[in-house]
Amino acid sequence: MKHVIGIGEALFDCLPEGRKLGGAPANFAYHVSQFGLNGCAISAIGNDELGDEIVEKFNAVHLKHILPRVEQPTGTVKVTLDEKGVPQYEICLGVAWDNIPLTDEMLEIARNAQAVCFGSLAQRSETSRKTIHAFLDATPADALRVFDINLRQSWYTAEVIAESLQRANILKINDEELDVVATMLLGEPTIPGHLIAEDAEKTRRICRELISRYDLDMLILTCGAIGSYVFTMEEESYITTPKVKVADTVGAGDSFTATFVAQLLLGKPIPEAHKKAVDVSAFVCTQNGAMPVLPDDLKR
C-alpha cells in the first residue's frame, strides 16, 4: 500500500476559543486523507494526557499515525490572532516532537511513500532533523518530497533550509518566507513584504532560480489575500485568492499543500490542482482550527 506522509510536529494549538489539534505535517496528512489517499502522520508524543488525546483524535478521523512515546511532554503552541485572523505563535521548547526517534516502522512506510511533506520547524533539534533526513533518504526516487518551509520565529538556519531543499523536489513557500530565503540563500536583498507587491518579475526570477539551483520540479508560492503561484521552469499558474469571511487562517496553508499534492497524485494537471487547492484553503479560513471536515463538493 502506498502512503502520503506528513512528518514533523504534532501538537495542540491553544487558540482563543480552546485547544485544537495541529502541527503542519499532521494537518497535511489529515487533509490528504480527505481525498481518499492513505495519509499518515509521523511525529512523537509524550507519556501524558495530551499524547493520549492526539491518538484519540487521529483515530476518530481514521488517520494512520506513527507516534512513538518519548520522555518529553506532548507539544503545545499558544496561538493569538490579529484583527485579520492571522496567527502569531509561541512555540514551547523541549517537547516530544523535538525528539522523534527513527523506527523500523517509519523506514518501512518511507519505502512505500507516494509523497512526503516536511518543514523546517521540527528540524530545530538534531534528533528530529536526523530522523526526518533518514526518512526522506529512504523514500523511492519517484516520490514527491515536499518541503513546506513554514519558517517560525527564529527556529531555522540557512544550513537547514539548504539541506532540506537538496532533499526536496517541490518547495512550498509564502511571500514573507520568500523574502527571507532570497536574502539568505541567493544573496538577493529584499524589503520584507515588498517583493511580491512591487516587483513581480523579480519574484518570478527568484522562484525559478531556486528551482534551478536546487533541481526542484516546482515551486508553490502563496501570497495571503493577494493570490498564489505555481512555478515550474516552463509553466506558471496564478490564481487570485477568493474573498471569504475569515474565522482564522490556522492550517490554511497546510490544507493548500495537501490538496495540491493530492490532486497531482490523482492525475490532475497543475492548473486544476492549483484551483482545487485555492478553494479548499479558502474554506479552511472560514473555519476555526486547522482540521475542519471538508464539504462533499470540495472533496469531489
What are the pLDDT digits (tens) for 21-62? 888 999 999 999 999 999 999 999 999 999 999 999 999 989
pLDDT of residue 191: 54
- Confirm if 176 and 201 have CB atoms less than 8 A apart: no
Phi, psi angle pair for 223, to nearest 5°: -125, 45
What are the pLDDT digits (tens) for 63-74? 999 999 999 999
CB atoms within 10 A of CB 83: 5
C-alpha–C-alpha distance, residues 124 and 100, integer Å: 12
For residue 97, the 8-state DSSP code is G
Q: What is the mean pLDDT of residues 137-154?
A: 95
Whole-prediction pTM: 0.92
- Confirm if 21 and 74 have CB atoms less than 8 A apart: no
Higher per-residue pLDDT: 66 or 16? 66
pLDDT of residue 198: 60
- Confirm if 114 and 141 have CB atoms less than 8 A apart: no
C-alpha–C-alpha distance, residues 39 and 22, integer Å: 15
What are the pLDDT digits (tens) for 207-265? 999 999 999 999 999 998 899 999 999 999 999 998 988 877 777 899 999 999 999 99
- Of 89, 83, 50, whose CA–CA distance to 67 is shortest? 50
- Of 68, 87, 52, 72, whose CA–CA distance to 7 is shortest? 68
Q: What percent of the chain has pLDDT over 90?
A: 70
Domain with residue 165: its CATH number is 3.40.1190.20
C-alpha–C-alpha distance, residues 188 and 194, integer Å: 13
Number of domains observed in the structure of the chain: 1
Residues of the domain holding 138: 3-299
